[in-house]
Amino acid sequence: MPQNIIIVTGLMILLSTGSVFGATEHFIQAEPESIGRSLTISVSKGNCIACHSIPAEKKIVSLANIGPPLIGIKQRFPLRTNLTKQIWDPTQANPNTIMPPFGKHKILTELEIKFIVDYLYTL
Ligand code: HEC
């Protein structure tokens, strides 16, 4: 009997560590752009689509038009630093903007903003 319990416990440990490794691997393999995409649409993170539509994304339905559509980003922000600044603290470009200062107010980390910038450059 105790042997059975040991075997079952061992199996459970194996299964659980297996899935932990699986999850880690999945995270490491995820492209920066796809992490950025999740952060952009996540209600608890960027929630950018509350104000912006993303016309290139057929699966993301946003009718928001408070901010300009996120499109042609490379043409509009040839410099990565300018796009990063716009997300870090949009009040620098427009003190009266209603877009939240995501970096300055610690809504998003520097790394999260980097991933979002990677994603926006695919649009
Ligand atoms: C509460 C509404 C709101 C949210 C949420 C918001 N924005 Fe904005 N955004 C705006 C508005 C309004 C503008 C127009 C510029 C201004 O107000 O100065 C803007 C402008 C921009 C611009 C500049 C566009 C251009 O072509 O000039 C970018 C890029 C941008 N937002 C990205 C984002 C990203 C990425 C997020 C999410 C992390 C986000 N925004 C979340 C309202 C918002």
Distance of alpha carbon 56 from alpha carbon 29, whole angstroms: 24
Q: Which residues contact 120 (CB under 8 A, 6 or more apart)?
A: 36, 40, 70, 73, 77, 83
Taking CA atoms only, the protein residue closest to ligand 1 atom 13 is 67
Contact (CB, 8 A) for 45 and 119: no
Let me know whether 114 and 67 are in one domain: yes
The pLDDT of residue 18: 45
Same domain, 47 and 2: no
Which domain does 17 fall in, by range? 1-30
pTM of the prediction?
Answer: 0.81
- The answer, yes or no, to whether any atom of ligand 1 lies below 6 A from the CB of 12, is no
pLDDT digits (tens, 9 = 90+) for 51-60: 999 999 988 7
Q: How many domains does the chain have?
A: 2
CA of 23 to the centre of ligand 1 (A): 32
CA of 75 to the centre of ligand 1 (A): 16
Whether residue 70 sits in one domain with residue 96 = yes
Q: If you compute the radius of gyration of the chain from its CA atoms, what whole number of angstroms results? A: 20
Q: Are residues 9 and 45 part of one domain?
A: no
Nearest-angstrom CA–CA distance, 21 and 92: 43
Indicate if 3 and 54 belong to the same structural domain.
no
pLDDT in tens, 55-111: 999 887 778 999 999 999 999 999 999 999 999 999 999 999 999 999 999 999 999
Q: Is residue 99 in contact with ligand 1, taking CB distance under 6 Å?
A: yes
Same structural domain, 17 and 3: yes
42 shares its domain with 11: no
1 CA from centroid of ligand 1 (Å): 63
